[in-house]
Structure 1
Amino acid sequence: MTPEFGGFQRKNASLVEAKPVEKEVELSVISRKPLVRDFLLEPVFVNPKIKLSSMLWEMIKSTLHGLERGKQPIRSSEGTGGAYFMQDALGKKYLSVFKPLDEEPMAVNNPQGLPLSSNGEGLKRGTRVGEGAFREVAAYILDHPKSGPRSLLSGEVGFAGVPPTVMVQCLHKGFNYPEGYECAPKNVKIGSLQMFMKNFGCCEDMGPRDFPVEEVHKISVFDIRMVNTDRHAGNILVIKEGEEGRIVLIPIDHGYCLPENFEDCTLDWLYWPQAHQPYSPDTVEYIRSLDAEQDIALLKCYGWDLSIECARTLRISTMLLKKGVERGLTPKLVGELFLM
């Protein structure tokens, strides 16, 4: 029996404490050799047939190399959960960001001093404590490239540009543990590992009028479809590309996507001028290609069964988005339907 680390539906799980459930499912990892050091980093596969792209493997191996060279995870001072910047071997740059399940807001090892959830519900209504990392990975999987459905074997950039993200198990003394815990294999943490994106700040640092329309629209498509309950200007990174410094927006922090209902949505871009403009023909064509049933099956293939409620949310949001653009509605008008 090995612990089940994937799955939105983790039957009999203690979601408040974000503990794994015992289930007969074999996990595939980089190595099954006994742990001989006080750190570990390996990808977690619920489905052993899943293959990772060379880009994801390189992120994992480079992050592990940094741990081997003694570079400590650096906990972010921002946010309500535990998020760790993972360094390269020289300690000169960040490679990735690790978010453990058990350090999520209102989880048992949350480092920010938040109280435990009394009923398993997260900070956002319709979400569950201990599921944020799964949603982070699901956001990357469902951010399909224009060429078609996402494959973790492909290194293609998704339509909205969600950074490459994968589920891993990680052990290091630098994480948050209760007093008296030892850094041992039994205390390994499960969470999402996302590629760190070098940026010039976030959208909070500048006025929205400078953002290209298509960049705002791509995030609106993603947020509407995924029913993002936590989209604010602070979790959209600003990147500048090329000699002309073309602005590219990168959406991050998707632990509150795919909720069980539409009660607690936050969509800051609704109030930006770009949201008043209609979608381009290319964006409309991309929206037409979306298929909720295909997405639900895809997540199941990767080992995560959406609950009935979350699957219903995805079906409704996808239908609403598609019907909205067919009627020529702007992002603002479609998005406002979520807030009614």
Structure 2
Amino acid sequence: MSFASVALCPALEEIINFPGIIGRFGNGLNLDDPILIFLNIAESLNPMRVMESDSIASMKLTIQSIKGFFVKKQKKLLVHDVARNKLLDLVIRLSDLQAVSVKTFGGKVVELFVEKSRSVGYVKQKLSLKDHELTLDGEELFDDQRLITDLCKSGENVIHLLIGKPKDFFVEPLVVNHEIELPSLLKELISSTIEGLEKGNSPKKSSDGSGGAYFMQDQSGHKYVSVFKPIDEEPMAVNNPHGLPLSLDGEGLKKGTQVGEGAFREVAAYILDYPITGPRTFPHDQPGFSGVPPTTMVKCLHKDFNHPNGYSSSQEDTKIGSLQMFVSNVGTCEDMGYGVFPVDQVHKISVLDMRLANADRHGGNILVSRDGNDGQIVLTPIDHGYCFPNKFEDCTFEWLYWPQAKEPYSSETLDYIKALDAEQDIELMRLHGWEIPSSCARVFRISTMLLKKGAEKGLTPFAIGSIMCRETLEKESVIELIIFEAEAIVSLEKTEEEFISTVSGIMDRYLDKYSLN
């Protein structure tokens, strides 16, 4: 057990060890004068004065105010009862405290005692190190939520930390659930992004799209490893780099979406893009059925991001957004004829888009790659910031007009669709920190239901997608008509489960007509 001793010593020869003390207390001490005591912790003496009428309990309160100690119950004992002694040893229990030494830039060591339940951020706050980083045995302590107890090593009484100079950049995961471990693929993605920045390879702003997107380079600077999209640079967001007007009501460019939520939707699309074996159980690195690139939420700082009000390398300039693995490609679907795309590649994207009610699927956000020695074409869907809308009005799927969409699903794809579970998906998103709005959750339940029912009845992606998408801007889609009909039947007092059940019955009637045709 750690302990500290308190030396109560009115003798002059003891006071001389602390220059300047004599001038404050004089050369002659008696019981009417303040009594000087020394708090001895980790071989460091700390002077403190008390009055002769003070009790031991009040002394402990005074010590606590200086060092943050816990006060334990103590019987009353006046200081003058023990002042005759040259030395008074008190034992203060420090089982809940941890000694921390922090080395500054100039080599000075600052020592403090911190409750083990405190965080790294608390230590920074105590030492006014908000914009600095701390390191422990070479490990950079980026996560301010790390607890002191987690840094303690067995048998060591002191944690030795170094203050690092504030960097002009950093990338770190945005942790919303400490019980979920990042898969190694995402850890490597973040590490390779940091390595590129450390080599001085700055982010390259994309000229495409209506929001801020930055290609992050590797160590060599010859290739990209990731793409960062800050939420404050989304279309119609406050720091959008393309001059788009600020959203007045919070709605995004696509109806049914909200400005500032694009990054969460990007990550949710990756999380819900299950491997063929079933829902993701982290950590693992299996690719998803539809091929959404690995994506995670991060905090990122760099001068080359859009900072309209100037850049100061402070925490205020830190941006939050999605970090997605960069996929090497030979272009997008806009760059070549759709006739060369394999049916299974088109179908896998159709499953994702209809399930998530994607409001922005066009040829420009489907990458084309060539895999293997035979150069087989692989399609990779990106840009999912407009998935999970709260209405179907803007759902658009460019693949709907490709001939592959009129081919039936394979048995493997049908099995994958059959296993989908909207309620399980909503809970999974909640586990990862995104509480999907109720209106968006309703659309997600209905879109998943339509995909499952349509596939079960043997409908093609074209047939199912045609139910979900409008033929013209003014004409409601079939799925919208189904919802309107259900809303006319179900009263507001009914539960969400009852509403979805009503939609299901009406949907069956419509789908029967499609299956007959």
Q: Do the structures match in fold with TM over 0.5?
A: yes
Please state how far the C-alpha of 1:179 moved relative to its aligned partner: 3.0
Aligned to 1:267: 397
Matched AA of 1:259 = P
Contact persistence 2:303–2:311 (CA under 8 A): no
Secondary structure class of the residue paired with 2:331: coil
Please state how far the C-alpha of 1:35 moved relative to its aligned partner: 6.2
Aligned to 2:366: 236
Per-residue displacement from partner, 1:41-83 (whole Å, max 9, x unpaired)? 0001111111111111011001001111111000000000000
What is the aligned length? 313
* In structure 2, distance between residues paired with 1:115 and 1:138: 27
Per-residue displacement from partner, 1:240-265 (whole Å, max 9, x unpaired)? 11111111100000000000110101
Contact persistence 2:167–2:313 (CA under 8 A): no
Q: What is the 5 A alignment of 1:155-166?
A: 155-166=285-296
Contact persistence 1:163–1:252 (CA under 8 A): yes
Matched AA of 2:357 = V
* Structure 2 residue 276 is matched with structure 1 residue 150: no
User: Which residue of 94, 109, 124 corresponds with 2:254?
Assistant: 124
- Structure 1 residues 179-188 or 168-177, which shifts more? 179-188
Secondary structure class of the residue paired with 1:248: strand
Matched AA of 1:151 = T
Please state how far the C-alpha of 1:30 moved relative to its aligned partner: 4.8
Please state how far the C-alpha of 1:332 moved relative to its aligned partner: 0.3
* In structure 1, distance between residues paired with 2:415 and 2:379: 21
Contact persistence 2:263–2:385 (CA under 8 A): yes
Secondary structure class of the residue paired with 1:231: coil
* Structure 2 residue 186 is matched with structure 1 residue 43: no
Aligned to 1:56: 186
* In structure 1, distance between residues paired with 2:264 and 2:321: 8
Contact persistence 1:30–1:43 (CA under 8 A): no
* In structure 1, distance between residues paired with 2:225 and 2:280: 22
Secondary structure class of the residue paired with 1:219: helix
* Structure 2 residue 466 is matched with structure 1 residue 336: yes
Aligned to 1:134: 264
Give ranges in structure 2 of 5+ residues lacking alignment: 1-118, 120-140, 145-162, 470-476, 478-517
Q: Which has the larger radius of gyration?
A: 2
Contact persistence 1:101–1:190 (CA under 8 A): yes
Aligned to 2:19: none
* Structure 2 residue 345 is matched with structure 1 residue 215: yes
Contact persistence 1:163–1:194 (CA under 8 A): yes
Q: 1:71 to 1:50 in 2, by over 3 A?
A: same
* In structure 1, distance between residues paired with 2:165 and 2:184: 25
Secondary structure class of the residue paired with 1:133: helix
* In structure 1, distance between residues paired with 2:443 and 2:142: 35
* In structure 2, distance between residues paired with 1:49 and 1:325: 36
Structure with more relative contact order (C-alpha pairs < 8 Å, separation 6 or more): 1
* In structure 2, distance between residues paired with 1:191 and 1:308: 23
* Structure 2 residue 432 is matched with structure 1 residue 324: no
Please state how far the C-alpha of 1:276 moved relative to its aligned partner: 0.5
* In structure 2, distance between residues paired with 1:331 and 1:259: 20
Secondary structure class of the residue paired with 1:220: helix
Secondary structure class of the residue paired with 2:379: strand
* In structure 2, distance between residues paired with 1:30 and 1:226: 34
**Runs of 4+ in structure 1 over 6 Å off:** none
Matched AA of 1:314 = F
* Structure 2 residue 407 is matched with structure 1 residue 277: yes
Matched AA of 2:386 = Y
* In structure 1, distance between residues paired with 2:341 and 2:225: 26
Matched AA of 2:345 = E
Structure (1/2) with the larger strand percentage: 2
Please state how far the C-alpha of 1:37 moved relative to its aligned partner: 1.0
Q: 1:299 to 1:123 in 2, by over 3 A?
A: same
Q: What is the 5 A alignment of 1:49-128?
A: 49-128=179-258
* Structure 2 residue 341 is matched with structure 1 residue 205: no
- Structure 1 residues 263-272 or 172-181, which shifts more? 172-181
* In structure 2, distance between residues paired with 1:152 and 1:271: 36
* Structure 2 residue 438 is matched with structure 1 residue 308: yes
Secondary structure class of the residue paired with 1:328: coil
Give ranges in structure 1 of 5+ residues lacking alignment: 3-28
* In structure 1, distance between residues paired with 2:204 and 2:283: 29
* In structure 1, distance between residues paired with 2:308 and 2:165: 21
* In structure 2, distance between residues paired with 1:39 and 1:261: 39
Matched AA of 1:322 = K
Per-residue displacement from partner, 1:92-143 (whole Å, max 9, x unpaired)? 1000000000000000000000000010000000000000000000000000
* In structure 1, distance between residues paired with 2:164 and 2:390: 40
* In structure 1, distance between residues paired with 2:395 and 2:463: 15
* In structure 2, distance between residues paired with 1:96 and 1:81: 16
Per-residue displacement from partner, 1:8-66 (whole Å, max 9, x unpaired)? xxxxxxxxxxxxxxxxxxxxx85437762111100011111111111110110010011
Contact persistence 1:47–1:303 (CA under 8 A): yes
Secondary structure class of the residue paired with 2:417: helix
Secondary structure class of the residue paired with 1:337: helix
- Normalization by structure 2: what TM-score? 0.60
Please state how far the C-alpha of 1:183 moved relative to its aligned partner: 2.2
The CA RMSD over aligned residues, in Å, is 1.3
Please state how far the C-alpha of 1:152 moved relative to its aligned partner: 4.1
Secondary structure class of the residue paired with 1:46: coil
Matched AA of 1:213 = V
* In structure 1, distance between residues paired with 2:375 and 2:295: 26
Q: 1:35 to 1:259 in 2, by over 3 A?
A: farther
Matched AA of 2:317 = N
Contact persistence 2:275–2:289 (CA under 8 A): yes
Contact persistence 1:166–1:192 (CA under 8 A): yes
